[in-house]
Amino acid sequence: MLARLVLAAIAAAAHAAAQTGGLADPAAAAASLSQLCAASSTQHLAACSLKTSCKTTTTGACADATLLATACETDAAVAASSSACAPVTAACPSGASSSALCAPVPALPSTLELQQRIFVICKVMNMDGCNKCAAPATNTTVASCDVMAVYSQLCHAMPDMSSCTPYNTMCAQSPLPNALAPFCPSAAGSTDSTLPSAFDETAPLMQMFLHTGINDYVLFKSFVPRNNGQYFGALVFSFALAVLYHAISAFRKWRLAAFAAQARALAASGNKNRKWSPRTEIQQLEKAVTRAVEVFVSYMLMLIVMAFNVGLIFAVIVGVLVGSYIFDRSPIQDDDNLCC
């Protein structure tokens, strides 16, 4: 009986040693991580996204053992039942406090929390990137998308949203773990990481308050100034559009004056009871078209101002001033609202 107990203890110790060695062995840790990230139920875990973004980097937080521990501990609700987590279970009986190998990537929320925050953000504001993640069948299932990259993209664009608090905390670490650098491009500049961004960070921040800077959408998704020259072009465009508005408005008033003169002449000739003529309908169509164009341009100006960019607003105001000075010389009074 005693011999059996001794043999069982030796076998258990050998098994534990083998599992610990598996986590400590880079090749074994890489194999377990690859197994975990290949399974359909766990392939979109945050740790797997970090592994993809780390590319060939295997140091620091990009080490396979660290990423495996992150997947099996931070996302234990999803990954713990996988056999790929056996080395972590054996080597880390007390979790992250067991050894340095057991410490997950710091400040990284679980994948289920990240995807829930994605859905909250996209419910409040349907932003670029929201279409990449469809809600899974249950709250305990990982969505079929790169959850980490989508969440980071949304919070990089709108960092002040309450659902982005974990993202800001994660990216505010100093030093920033190298595995997180691709997801925190604004903070990554202060690190030595050369890893490329995990998403397109060129999309401008959505700042719903008066601000300066050159990166803002100007009417179109593709019209985003990236340098001072392009920003100057956006200022000239905004200025010219404001001047154009007043040119269109002045042209419309001039045509209204001409139509009024024709109506007076017609009335003086004794045809004031004439109710309809082709010329009248053409004139009415011209008035409608010019009014529609005038309103369209005014809405474009309104959307430029709603970018909240101080430089663009100033360009529009200067354009209004110049356009009004040049073109607003008609005595004809008309509804001249800039919006509708």
What's the average model confidence in pLDDT over 88-107? Answer: 80
The answer to whether residues 47 and 112 touch, using CB atoms and an 8 Å cutoff, is no
Q: What is the pLDDT of residues 169-197, one digit of tens each?
A: 999 998 899 899 888 877 655 444 444 45
- So what's the pLDDT on residue 322? 93
What's the pLDDT at 203?
Answer: 59
Say yes or no to pLDDT of 62 above 80.
yes
Provide the percentage of residues in the chain whose pLDDT is more than 90.
34
Q: pLDDT-derived band of residue 274, with 50, 70 and 90 as boundaries?
A: low
The residue that leads in pLDDT, 88 or 193, is 88
**How does the average pLDDT of the chain come out, rounded?**
80
Task: Kindly report, residue by residue over 98-140, the tens digit of the pLDDT.
Answer: 577 888 999 999 999 999 999 999 988 887 788 888 888 888 8
Position 6 scores a pLDDT of 44
Residue, of 95 and 137, whose pLDDT is higher:
137
Structural domain boundaries in the chain: 2-102, 111-188, 228-327
Task: Report pLDDT for 191.
Answer: 44
Q: Where residue 272 falls among pLDDT bands split at 50, 70, 90?
A: low
Give the per-residue pLDDT at 193. Answer: 47
Asked if the model's pLDDT at residue 12 lies above 50, the reply is no
Among 157-161, 262-266, 330-334, the range of highest mean pLDDT: 157-161
In the prediction, which pLDDT does 206 show? Answer: 65
User: What is the pLDDT at residue 195?
Assistant: 47
Q: Is the pLDDT of residue 14 over 70?
A: no
pLDDT value, residue 110: 94
